[in-house]
Amino acid sequence: MFKKVHLRLTLLCAGITAVIMLVMSLCYLYVSEKGLYRNQFQAFKNDINTISTNLEQQSVISMEWLAKMEAQGNYRFFVLDNGVPFLYNQLSDPEQTEENNILLTESRNALNSLSSQDVTVTVSDGINGILSHSEYEFISPSTDSRYFCSLIQMGTGNSLLEIVVLSPLQRLEQQIEEQRTRFLLIDIGATILLGIFAWFFTGILLKPIAENQQKQAMFVAAASHELRTPLSVILSAAECCRDAAPERQEGFIRTIYQEGLRVSSLVTDMLTLSQSDSHRFPVRKEPTELDTLLMNSYEAFEPLAREKSIQLSLTLPDGALPLCNVDPERISQVIAILLHNAISYTPNQGRIELSLARHKERFAVSVQDNGIGISDADKKRIFDRFYRVEKSRNRKDHFGLGLSIAHEIVKAHGGSIQVTDAEGGGSCFTVIL
Ligand code: ADP
């Protein structure tokens, strides 16, 4: 499932960014291309102005001058005397002449079909009478090529000399084509890079979610497993109770009650952990006398220890201690979990020491026993949910949740909990607050 989500997120991230990039590229290209055409047209008009000024000042138009102007600006010139193509245009080969004539006709037709706002007209007085020139853009229907065109007209009375200047836009179009290809390649490259980045990035984002989901699944599986045993005992006891003689029913009811208590304690533990997971773990801190808290815990567990002939001792620092800002109920719960475990995993006649020490701004509460101890491999896992060293699970009041609850409570206080080997065997749990 996460692979699918991973892929979809990657496609979504890369797709959205690619679309944004594409739109931005298109906007840029639109503005840039418009600018290129405008600048080119302006340059063309400037050249025509120069040519017109020259024409104004000279009475004879030499072919050398025309050829020089053509070569300089990559232009094509057509000269018409009273509408008849001048000798200048007949110098090229016949095929070229034919092509030129078509182009000439098309350019003149285009001028007639264009509206006045698409044509720039300039009129001035020259030596040879009125001189006017009109610049416009047109697409040749026969070759589908674009041109800037200028029609220069000069003359007096019956004599009309026309010069048509054509500037092919192939080079500009090629430049624009190259620019578009460049942008397309950049966009494709960037999209691939973005895709790779999005794949890793979403992978990093999804990793804790996937891990969490796996943990949840394991938690539910383990919880169901733990709940199944007492529930099946309750069900079979209820069934036996129904058919049993009245004097035997009391025993079955007791079993149902005890197993019910187990289920209730397990559900309470699970609820505590779920609250901690959803950050709804109520921690009501208040200035607390930790020594008093430890004395109360000692008193509560001393009878239980005595039952197993375990010697439970309490060591407190000398003198008055500053108050510690903790939730007294929660910290008592942690001490209860540690003492309960210590009593459970220490054989009869053993020793357990509950102690409090102060290191500068910190308090250390430790529970040390001389019991069965914990191997180094298990030390890393005992704070995991439902983890028990004894796989047989024959201790009915132990679900493997105690230390994970203790860990969550201590974490909620900003403290830490650790386990070490006790001197001479056994374990020592230390809570730093
Ligand atoms: P449980 O309810 O099973 O005690 P915990 O989370 O409190 O669950 O402890 C996890 C496991 O750590 C226990 O199953 C036990 O094997 C081990 N453990 C905890 N405390 C001690 C201890 N004082 N001595 C030895 N083993 C311990």
Of 270, 403, 404, 409, the one to substitute when testing ligand 1's pocket (max ligand atoms within 8 A of C-beta) is: 403
- Which has the higher per-residue pLDDT, 260 or 277? 260
CA–CA separation, 313 vs 298, rounded Å? 8
Residue 393 predicted with pLDDT over 70: no
Please tell me whether residue 134 adopts helix, strand or coil conformation.
Answer: strand
Query: Is the beta carbon of 397 within 6 A of some atom in ligand 1?
Result: no
Tokens at 244, concatenated: 């049993």
Question: Which range in 59-63, 207-211, 217-221, 325-329 is most confidently predicted, on average pLDDT?
Answer: 325-329
Q: What is the pLDDT of residue 427?
A: 96
Ligand 1 atom closest to the CA of 342, numbered from 1? 23
Residue 304 predicted with pLDDT over 80: yes
Per-residue pLDDT tens digits for 53-102: 887 777 677 778 778 878 877 888 888 888 777 765 555 567 777 888 88
Residues β-bridged to residue 166: 76, 149
Q: Are 218 and 48 in contact (CB under 8 A)?
A: no
Per-residue pLDDT tens digits for 125-151: 766 666 888 999 999 998 889 999 999
Q: Which residue CA neighbors atom 14 of ligand 1 most closely?
A: 388
- Which has the higher per-residue pLDDT, 308 or 64? 308
Q: How confident is the model at residue 299 (pLDDT cuts 50, 70, 90)?
A: very high
Residue 395 predicted with pLDDT over 70: no
Query: Is the beta carbon of 371 within 6 A of some atom in ligand 1?
Result: yes
* The model scores a pTM over 0.85: no
Q: What is the pLDDT of residue 90?
A: 55
CA–CA separation, 357 vs 296, rounded Å? 17
Per-residue pLDDT tens digits for 21-55: 999 999 999 999 999 999 999 999 998 888 888 87
Residue among 191, 197, 176, 201 nearest 24 (CA): 191
Tokens 């009109």 locate to 134
Q: Which residue CA neighbors atom 1 of ligand 1 most closely?
A: 400
Residue 364 predicted with pLDDT over 90: yes
What is the percentage of the chain residues whose pLDDT exceeds 90? 50
Residue 197 predicted with pLDDT over 90: yes
Q: In the predicted model, what is the mean pLDDT of the chain? A: 88
Please tell me whether residue 126 adopts helix, strand or coil conformation.
Answer: strand
